[in-house]
Each structure stands twice: as C-alpha cells, then as structure tokens.
Structure 1
Amino acid sequence: MIGLEYICKLFEKQFKDVAEIMRISPKTVNDWVRERRVIPKRHLPKLAEIFQLDEFYFQKELTTSEKLRLQRIKIDREAEFEKVEISYIDQQGEEVVEQFYYSENEMISNFLREEEEETKLIEDIAEMINEERNKAIFNMTIKVLKSNNNDIVILKEILEYLNDIDKWGLHEGMHISKIIPETFDKYRQTKNKG
C-alpha cells in the first residue's frame, strides 16, 4: 500500500473526492493507489496541499514509524482544547490560580510520539544491522549493554564523543586509531565540568 492510499483512509477522504479536487479522473487516482501508474511529480504538490503533508509521503510505501507520525498529525489536527483552572494554596498561604489548556488528544498524541520514536529507532537498527560491517559493532554494543557494569558509562561517553567529533577538531573520515587519547580525556574533563 502506497502512502496515498493510507493517507486517504486515515483522513477519511475518498479517492473520487481527491480526484475531483485535483481535477483528474477517479480512475487516475485509483491507478496510482493500485500502483498501476506512478504519481507524476507535478501532482505531488497538490496532494501535499490537500492533506497538508509533505510530498514524500504519497508515492512511497510507508514505514510503521511514518504511519504513526501521520496518525499523530491527524490526532493533533483534531485536538480541541479547553481552558482548565487549578487553584491551590502556596507556601505563603496565598491562593494561586493556574490556567492551562488541555485536550484529551494530548495523551494519545504523546503516546503516538513515543511509539513513533521507538519504532523509528528499531527500523534504523534493522536497516543498519543488515550491513555486514555493522554486525560486529552491534554484537559488541549488545554485549556491553547486557553487562550491567561501568562499561555502559564508558560506551555512552565514547558515543557522545563521536557524535560531537567536529567539536574536538577531528573529522568523520579520521580512523579511530589516529584519535589521540588525550583528546578523549579532554572531552571527559570538559563534560565533567559541565
């Protein structure tokens, strides 16, 4: 199922309605959805406008994390907020009234965001683990994570260091054996001060 079909179902729009808005035949939209024809690039901006979504969602087969993101977008668009007031007595004995806006959809949206992030992480790992050169790294990482000792802290620091490598005057292409140990010590000292 390509994104267009999923999006139409999610946002409860019939193919014929999309075709009418785009001034094309319903058969054309049906051909796109059934993948008999590719959606021409010239039509992607109009689809994006109709659904107020990025163009890249429509032609591709969506990942689970992308479907969760679209569900969250829909929930957020449908959210109705109501003003809520809470009053309490502060430490000085004064009554304080706080106001905020609340939507029942907020908890659902937060849940979907967490699910999306977790699913995206799993998708990224699955994609990366298929590369032969990454298997040994994943095996070592898993071994460290299962160890429940100080190696986890060291691994975390090394990964933070490598993620901020440009900050330390090194470039991504530099081989790890050329990274001067004092640089990592400097990183750890700076991190401990902060």
Structure 2
Amino acid sequence: MLTPPALLAVASGLALGLGLIVAIGAQNAFVLRQGLRLEHVAAVVAVCALSDLALIFAGVLGAGAALSRVPWLIPVVCFAGAAFLLCYGVLAARRALCPEALLPDAAGARTGLAVTVGTCLALTWLNPHVYLDTVVLLGSMASTYGEHRWEFAVGAGLGSTIWFTGLGYGARRLRPVFARPAAWRVLDGVIAAVMAALAVSLVVRGVSGA
C-alpha cells in the first residue's frame, strides 16, 4: 500500500507529465493523424508510451546529468531532429496541397506498419524536446522526491500512457468532421506549420548550443 508521501510523488509525476505532454507537437500531431485514419493506432500509442517510459526512467537513473557532460551532443541531435521534422513537414504540406490524397480510406493511401512505426520512432527519438522534457526536466524533478523518485516516475509514465491512449483512440470521434477533404487539408497544413516551427526552434537551439 502506498504511503501518503508516495501517493504525493505519483500525483506530482502524473500532473507534471501531463502538463509537459498535452501540447501540440511532433508526437501528438502524428498520433492524432493516425487516430483519425484508424491506422495502426495500437502500435503508435504503444511506441509513444513505451518510449516516454524509457526516457523518464533513464532520467531518474541520471541520464540527464550524464548528457550535460557531453555538450557537443545537443547541437548534433538538434540539427538531425530539425532536418527530420522539416522533411516530415514538407510531406504534410504536399498532402495539404494534393486533395486526391487526403481521404483516409482512399485506395493506396494506407501506410504499412513498419513505415508507421519507423516514423513514430523517429518523431520521438530524433526530437530533442522529448529529451529535455523527459530525461532532463522530469529526471531532475524526480530527484527532489528522494526515496520516492520512482513513484514520481511511475506517475509521469502513467500520464504519458493516459494521454497517448486517449489521443489515439479518442481521435475517431472527430472522424465525421474529417469526412470532408477540406478538414484534412487544414489538419495537414497545421501539422506542416508546427513541424516547420519546431525545426526552426531546434536549429536556433543547436546554433546557440554549438
């Protein structure tokens, strides 16, 4: 049975984890789109949730402190992540400008499981923001809970799991809206803009950290 301090650590981790993750970004935009398409949703949710869990626990184990001792690594990851996000944004922009490829159930529009999982992994592990939020910030916060740092990590991981599950499977409720090609054009246009903005922010961070 969890003690009051342990419960407080779990609740704090849950609140901070949700606070960091409930914002539009590379991961969330991809999960939303897959949920709307009803395409490999379970695999995408599992990849995102398990990746977050691995990064959170790595942070609690001290990976954040270790990363601070390798200053040249951050700019490298920033530039690599920016390049990938920019490419993904270009693809989203092309979808927004190509009406015949917008409907989620159009012939030939579906993507294979391997490609979907690979894209999801890249959007997660090539995004430095994920490391800053999970490994560095959550790892640092967990250390303030002393012997209850693992309960804090469990709470943060639970927040990620709840969010990605709700986003992936809840997106289907919006499918009536996205029955129109115009709605997909707007969504892909927003995704393209978000990816471009994230790519620029990573380049700026990489230059300042170089």
TM-score normalised to structure 1 length: 0.23
Q: Of the two structures, which has the highest relative contact order with CA contacts closer than 8 Å and spacing of 6 or more?
A: 2
Q: Which has the higher strand share?
A: 1
- Which protein is bigger by CA-based radius of gyration? 1
Q: Which has the higher helix share?
A: 2
